[in-house]
């Protein structure tokens, strides 16, 4: 797959979402971000299945990583220790 910029990846992601979801995402963007991504959408050309797969997989991986990063804290650490070593 050709290397895509972050803006191009965002454009592909918006294209593969249903219209309602894409609009909800776009409402969260700044005017500058929105202009940049709309420009990328206009200039993308043919979006191949490989591009879609690559962007979707990367997005999924980022969401999973964020889930694990945000599930930290003392309670999570304690739970991991108990599972690894047994109750203390």
State the average pLDDT over residues 51-71: 81
HEC per residue, the chain: CCCCCHHHHHHHHHHHCCHHHHHHHHCCCCHHHHHHHHHHHHHCCCCCHHHHHHHHHHHHHHHHHHHHHHCCCHHHHHHHHHHHHCCC
The band of 74, judged by pLDDT with boundaries at 50, 70 and 90, is confident
Per-residue confidence (pLDDT) for residue 70, from 0 to 100: 64
Q: Residues 8-56: pLDDT tens digits?
A: 999 999 999 999 999 999 999 999 999 999 999 999 989 999 999 999 9
The band of 75, judged by pLDDT with boundaries at 50, 70 and 90, is confident
Q: Going from the N-terminus, what domains does the chain have, and what CATH number goes with each? A: 6-85 (1.10.220)
> What's this model's pTM, rounded to 2 decimal places?
0.69
């Amino acid at each position: 797959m050709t290397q895509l910029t972050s803006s191009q990846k965002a454009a592909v992601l918006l294209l593969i979402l249903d219209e309602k979801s894409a609009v909800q995402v776009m409402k969260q963007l700044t005017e500058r971000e929105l202009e940049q991504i709309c420009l990328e959408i206009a200039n993308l050309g043919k979006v191949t299945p490989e591009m879609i797969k690559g962007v979707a997989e990367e997005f999924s991986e980022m969401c999973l990583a964020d889930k694990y990063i945000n599930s930290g804290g003392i309670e999570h650490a304690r739970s991991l220790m108990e599972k690894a070593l047994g109750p203390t």
